[in-house]
Structure 1
Amino acid sequence: MAQTFRDRFIQVFSWWQGTTFGTSFTTWLRGEFVGEDEYGNRYFRSKDGKIDPVLGFERRWVIYKGVADSTMIPPGWYGWMHHLRDVAPVNDTYRPKEWQKPHQPNLTGTPQAHRPLGSILRPDPEAKISAGYDAWSPE
């Protein structure tokens, strides 16, 4: 798929739309593809599992598909990314627990964000906060 000028411009100057040119180059030069999750995010590690002398462990990173949103990392990949698991989910029999809920994006700052009773941003701002609440008065 051919990249347009706009796509190349975004890749050079923005990090929130997937990857920058610098990250792509570093990944090509020093990275080893590990796997891809159900959201299309691609996971990498240092070539041959090389230990970083400064960190003391191998580097691991993700290139997001679309907007860079850290909440889009599934639990299995989260454990691998944070060195809680040594084996990546693609090489393991990892299955989510029945109590683990499917991903929901962070809706803060959007019209779908949670608006508690009494919030001035609710469609019904006149809604009472609670029946047992009395506002403090300095008198």
Structure 2
Amino acid sequence: MAFLDDLFIRLTSRKVGQDRFGNTYWEARSRRDVYGRPMRRVIYAGAPEATTVPPEWWGWIHNTTEQPLPEDAPRRAWQKDHRPNRTGTAEAWRPPGADSRGGQRPATAGDYEAWTPGR
């Protein structure tokens, strides 16, 4: 089905650009959304995962900006590179005490102590 979606998009839309992850962005030639704006679409380079859309293109695909932000714009020291969501992968963040990290967390002063009758 993805093949037919890609073919439909390529036949009915014009290519606007491509991001550094390989995703391509398209704008429909004649189809409009309910607000009268041309429909905007993305063809993902790999698995269809919405978190792979970088911030430079996010505003454009959601009709917040008319043009995508330049990817080669100077970055501030505090800005980090975009990373897709890693949930469910080996790179996912796991807090101390998570089952995947042994299930042992450090003891704290407020740890619960069960009530035992007769004490």
Normalising by structure 1, report the TM-score.
Answer: 0.68
Q: Counterparts in 2 of 1:80-119, with a 5 A limit?
A: 80-89=60-69, 95=73, 97-98=75-76, 99-119=78-98
Segments of structure 2 that go 5 or more residues without pairing to the other structure are: none
Q: Match for residue 134 of structure 1?
A: 111
Q: Is the 8 A contact 1:33 1:43 kept in 2?
A: yes
Percent identical pairs in the alignment equals 33
For residues 46 and 109 of structure 2, the distance between their equivalents in structure 1, rounded to whole angstroms, comes to 46
RMSD: 2.5
Task: Specify whether residues 133 and 110 from structure 1 end up closer, same or farther in structure 2 by C-alpha distance, changes over 3 A only.
Answer: farther
Task: Specify whether residues 29 and 55 from structure 1 end up closer, same or farther in structure 2 by C-alpha distance, changes over 3 A only.
Answer: farther
Q: Is the 8 A contact 1:76 1:96 kept in 2?
A: no
CA deviation after TM superposition for structure 1 residue 56, in Å? 2.3
For residues 105 and 19 of structure 2, the distance between their equivalents in structure 1, rounded to whole angstroms, comes to 43
Q: Match for residue 12 of structure 2?
A: 30
- More strand by percentage: 2
CA deviations 1:107-130 (Å, max 9, x no partner) are 2112332221222221x32332x4
For residues 46 and 37 of structure 2, the distance between their equivalents in structure 1, rounded to whole angstroms, comes to 28
CA deviation after TM superposition for structure 1 residue 28, in Å? 2.6
CA deviations 1:45-96 (Å, max 9, x no partner) are 011xx4616342110011011122212112111111111111134xx68726
Amino acid in the other structure paired with 2:108:
A
Q: Match for residue 24 of structure 2?
A: 42
Task: Specify whether residues 96 and 55 from structure 1 end up closer, same or farther in structure 2 by C-alpha distance, changes over 3 A only.
Answer: farther
Q: Is the 8 A contact 1:46 1:60 kept in 2?
A: yes
For residues 33 and 55 of structure 2, the distance between their equivalents in structure 1, rounded to whole angstroms, comes to 28
Q: Is the 8 A contact 1:75 1:96 kept in 2?
A: no
Secondary structure at the aligned position of 2:15 is classed as: strand
